Amino acid sequence: MARKPTPSPSLPAGITLLAWLGWAMVVLIADQFTKVLIMGYYQLGDSTPVTSFFNMVRVHNTGAAFSFLASAGGWQRWLFTGIGIAAVALITWMLKKHATQTLFAFALASLLGGALGNVIDRVLYGYVVDFLDFHAQGWHFPAFNVADSAITLGAACLILDELLRVRRGR
């Protein structure tokens, strides 16, 4: 089913698009800045306990989410880079087309900034730098970064946007 636009009453689409690209840039800068800090202060495998359930670490992920295909031999770097570049192109096109739909555009811009952050890592280093490490009583969540957080936020907002759209259609 085609998306039914809900235009913003205050801003033209061009200005709104620039605002969303600005948000994507904020996400990208925050992601890359935090990764530079981690790489400057931590060696691979270093860890600093912050709380009883959170550590700062330096981990290199050569795979995708949850280290999927991490030990595949190196070809996955270019596969995931290509997928990331394709996602950036598609998201940018969709963002331009739907810039006035606030929640949808926020979700897309968050995905865009996160995808760009991880693509930059893959191109520059051959892996994604992860550093946020949550754990509790033997349970351990895989380390992640700001880009991953933005991608997760964007995906959650896409789901919420769709649920709200379907609800409005009833």
Dihedral sign (CA 65, 141, 160, 128): negative
pLDDT digits (tens, 9 = 90+) for 22-39: 999 999 999 999 999 999
**pLDDT of 7 strictly over 60:** no
What are the domain boundaries of the chain? 13-169
pLDDT of residue 27: 98
Q: Which residues are catalytic?
A: 130, 148
- Bigger pLDDT: 122 vs 55: 55
pLDDT of residue 8: 43
pLDDT band at 85 (very low <50, low <70, confident <90, very high): confident
32-59 burial string, b = 16+ CB within 10 Å, else e? bebbeebeeebeeeeeeeeeeeebbbbb
pLDDT band at 136 (very low <50, low <70, confident <90, very high): very high
pLDDT digits (tens, 9 = 90+) for 145-166: 999 999 999 999 999 999 998 8
Return d(Cα 169, Cα 121) in angstroms, integer: 41
